[in-house]
Chain A
């Protein structure tokens, strides 16, 4: 193709894409199914996509995760395809963990940092083949990835819209998959992935999730999304499969102790206030930092900060006295000195405990663990009930379920 025609072709695709503005919010490939199930009308904006906050009843949606199986649309997750002879080296330079140890057919949870060692995002890295990866995350990073690709023989492509994703989570998730005909899925151990045939195409199923429960994530081409949904939905009926919105998922993730970018920490590239950025050690991701694997982005800064005690904050799990969720409560030491902030908090229906994720200023939460308090403002009929409640640092995850890791999984 000569220069002129490629220019014209580019102009044509560009003009064809004008249509995006006909709908202000994008609809996921599963939208027809979700819209049919939507009873609460509670849509919200997830990265420019219309996504359900709840579909029918938040409380029951949550218990679908913990007692039956729940289907949650993760298509709006940002997805990048990283492919080429240097894909492993590229990912290894990009992220904190050692990608050489990530075998094809495995997934790992990882994070990546800017030059100053501040976390840009966390996400999951899928090794689909020796030289092909998929990176899933909350924020967008195309310029960062493309600039990082300079000097590597690797191609990077965003596939957020092209690839549809579903999270199937809950005690009967395995039974649903088996009933839907995903032969061999029982061999998948946590963080394993495998491809399965679907309608002449492939579905990638990984034993991963954001709930701390037995669960899987399924990725397929957007064109196959509806048939995949229907296949699971039909098979899931006897196992109590329900579609759920983000509100229920959020409760489950807090129980599981997972953090969410730009909710529990501010990502370095979006922070307007430079002091809001966080090192891995400050948000509980220090365990990912592999100082022995060779160079990776931010390595010098992270190691130098460790040497000089540069980590000023620490992210902790808290258990709070009483039953009032401490969302966005201030944390005090000895009831007086302000030492941090709660970023997420719920009454855990599974644990019957009042739990929270908080960021504290060291040494509080690190070496000073006693005498912590949270100040809860609970709005009740136009009056704040101001509560000062004790809080204890407890290990995360708050909830550990044997069924999450049992392989092969039990039928329910």
Chain B
């Protein structure tokens, strides 16, 4: 059955990127329907009730890269998004006490010696300068090397110029460091294991690299190129929690005229003569339109929704080669009270707490994951989301949310309840060591392995970037080389999720960039629509 309603565009998946893409299209005058398989919008930021009276914040639990252009384009502030102050990061260390980073990624750091603070100041400034060179890439289509447009060339020229403006020595440092590993960079500059541990942790968070893996510094650049509450590299837990971000996005979308349909799972993207012609829903409804944006995983989009018969083999091969076995698990604890972390005051609990004893410690946590196992000494990032969103826990209770690394998607022998219990035990033991008494507070626990994340959030591999965010899968190689950016081999079909440039995290950028690309293409197609007649003529001229 074909829906009688007429739409200009269908957006698949009401995660943050889908919401952003739909809003941007709607604000540009397109009639947009946003379809979501689940009952609620929010995607990976969608929380669930995991114990009676307790809700989890979803996969994402801090906001560190929602882009100012997205906030402005969707007018999120007037739709209720409110940041407080940048939240601190506490790095725990039982022997030397915690390190507290304030402002935009450690503008000030409590707990460092004077000498180390100076060394950190120098390294921090350098890292920000270097991330600054890459930052302009975030808000545009990645330049497609090998077929650069004039705009691309001008843009790359401006990047070169900004590189030059660093000065000769800093330009050299950039060209030397850009593909280095975070461990060596930290070793070259720093001596404090807590700080080195944090850099190692943040650089490898969400990717399958250890701190000693070359190119791992890119992960840190990615973080530092983001900003929150006006603080570059900073983070906030918005008032009302991550749910408030989604609520603001939904309000913005609805006020722009986006029709949001939940419980509307897309079964197929309809393709005719090489171009998208709409989507078919699980209930049999067909929504006909020549513009489809998919915010969901690229593999799912192409392999399941488009289907091989409409795609080329080389392209399928490239999509199949996207590495997307997640390496992070998510732990949610329902607690009877706020746990006491050794050395931390109440004001430190608003942000995130990192337990990563040293760079080598992160590396050791990474090692087993290469062979489909997890370390008994994982590294974790903890937040207490209930502090910003009291609705998550009943009065007197608290929710603890933690990212646990490195946990393989493909556990050797497969994930069983026993193996999950083992991982839970390792995580709890680690937390208990840093927050004595925490275990007694635990009323319920939910552990999501990458395999669970895959199921719950429809993310193949349970990878929140929808594909490794590594040097060979960035910029013009994302999602795949030869088809980078947002357009796809299927005309009128765009990717607008984390699998596209610049990648995952709650940035809204893939959604923003993709929607803009689709609008641009639509306008240039109008100008050259006579091209079709040429195409048809050339077909008929094909010699028998």
**A–B interface present (Cβ within 8 A):** yes
For residue B317, CB closer than 8 A to chain A, the reply is: yes
For residue A408, CB closer than 8 A to chain B, the reply is: no
Q: Is the CB of B538 within 8 A of A306?
A: yes
For residue A303, CB closer than 8 A to chain B, the reply is: yes
Q: Range of interface residues on chain A? A: 20 to 34
Q: Select the stretch in A142-150, A176-184, A197-205 that faces chain B.
A: A142-150
For residue B308, CB closer than 8 A to chain A, the reply is: yes
For residue B167, CB closer than 8 A to chain A, the reply is: no
Residues in B neighbouring A295, C-beta threshold 8 A = 271, 274, 309-311
Q: How far is the CA of A277 from the CA of B310 in the complex (A)?
A: 24
In the complex, the chain A residue whose C-beta lies closest to that of B302 is: A151
Q: How far is the CA of A270 from the CA of B543 in the complex (A)?
A: 28
Residues in A neighbouring B311, C-beta threshold 8 A = 295
Residues in A neighbouring B312, C-beta threshold 8 A = 114-115, 297-298, 300
Q: A150-B316, A291-B542 are contacts. A303–B535 as well, Cβ < 8 Å?
A: yes
Q: Is the CB of B303 within 8 A of A144?
A: no
For residue B413, CB closer than 8 A to chain A, the reply is: no
Q: Is the CB of B313 within 8 A of A115?
A: yes
In the complex, the chain B residue whose C-beta lies closest to that of A295 is: B310
For residue B1, CB closer than 8 A to chain A, the reply is: no
Q: Is the CB of B303 within 8 A of A151?
A: yes
Q: Is the CB of A307 within 8 A of B534?
A: yes
Q: Is the CB of A307 within 8 A of B535?
A: yes
Q: Is the CB of B308 within 8 A of A150?
A: yes
Q: Is the CB of B542 within 8 A of A147?
A: no
For residue B414, CB closer than 8 A to chain A, the reply is: no
Q: Is the CB of B531 within 8 A of A300?
A: no
Residues in B neighbouring A94, C-beta threshold 8 A = 313
Q: Is the CB of B274 within 8 A of A300?
A: yes
Q: Is the CB of A115 within 8 A of B309?
A: no
For residue A89, CB closer than 8 A to chain B, the reply is: yes
Q: Is the CB of B539 within 8 A of A292?
A: yes
Residues in B neighbouring A299, C-beta threshold 8 A = 274
Q: How far is the CA of A297 from the CA of B310 in the complex (A)?
A: 9
For residue A287, CB closer than 8 A to chain B, the reply is: yes
For residue B307, CB closer than 8 A to chain A, the reply is: yes
For residue B137, CB closer than 8 A to chain A, the reply is: no
For residue B50, CB closer than 8 A to chain A, the reply is: no
Residues in A neighbouring B314, C-beta threshold 8 A = 114-116, 297
For residue A93, CB closer than 8 A to chain B, the reply is: yes
Residue-wise, chain A 274-307 has the 8 Å CB interface mask toward B (1 for contact) of: 0000000000001101011011011110010011
For residue B111, CB closer than 8 A to chain A, the reply is: no
Q: Is the CB of B316 within 8 A of A291?
A: no
Residue-wise, chain B 252-281 has the 8 Å CB interface mask toward A (1 for contact) of: 000000000000000000010110000000
Residue-wise, chain A 108-127 has the 8 Å CB interface mask toward B (1 for contact) of: 00000011100000000000
Residues in B neighbouring A116, C-beta threshold 8 A = 314
Q: Range of interface residues on chain B? A: 20 to 34
Q: How far is the CA of A115 from the CA of B308 in the complex (A)?
A: 13
Residues in B neighbouring A115, C-beta threshold 8 A = 312-315, 482
Q: How far is the CA of A94 from the CA of B531 in the complex (A)?
A: 27
In the complex, the chain B residue whose C-beta lies closest to that of A120 is: B313
Q: Is the CB of B316 within 8 A of A93?
A: no
For residue B372, CB closer than 8 A to chain A, the reply is: no
For residue B489, CB closer than 8 A to chain A, the reply is: yes
Most chain-B Cβ atoms within 10 A of its Cβ — which of A115, A289, A297, A300?
Answer: A115
Q: Is the CB of A303 within 8 A of B538?
A: yes
Q: How far is the CA of A336 from the CA of B384 in the complex (A)?
A: 81
Residue-wise, chain A 340-365 has the 8 Å CB interface mask toward B (1 for contact) of: 00000000000000000000000000
Residues in B neighbouring A152, C-beta threshold 8 A = 308-309
In the complex, the chain B residue whose C-beta lies closest to that of A146 is: B313
For residue B284, CB closer than 8 A to chain A, the reply is: no
Q: Is the CB of B317 within 8 A of A147?
A: yes
Q: A147-B316, A150-B320, A300-B489 are contacts. A307–B308 as well, Cβ < 8 Å?
A: no
For residue B544, CB closer than 8 A to chain A, the reply is: yes
Q: A115-B314, A300-B274, A300-B489 are contacts. A151–B309 as well, Cβ < 8 Å?
A: yes
In the complex, the chain A residue whose C-beta lies closest to that of B535 is: A307
Q: How far is the CA of A285 from the CA of B539 in the complex (A)?
A: 14
Most chain-B Cβ atoms within 10 A of its Cβ — which of A287, A291, A292, A299?
Answer: A291
Q: Is the CB of B543 within 8 A of A144?
A: no
Residue-wise, chain B 296-336 has the 8 Å CB interface mask toward A (1 for contact) of: 00000001000111111111110010000000000000000
Closest 6 CB pairs of A and B: A151-B308, A115-B314, A115-B312, A306-B538, A291-B539, A148-B313
Seen from chain B, the residues whose Cβ lies within 8 Å of a Cβ on chain A are 271, 273-274, 303, 307-317, 320, 482, 489, 531, 534-535, 538-539, 542-544
| Pairs A–B under 8 Å by Cβ, sample size 19 | A89-B309, A115-B482, A147-B316, A147-B320, A148-B313, A148-B316, A151-B307, A286-B542, A287-B543, A287-B544, A298-B312, A299-B274, A303-B538, A303-B539, A306-B538, A306-B539, A306-B542, A307-B531, A307-B535
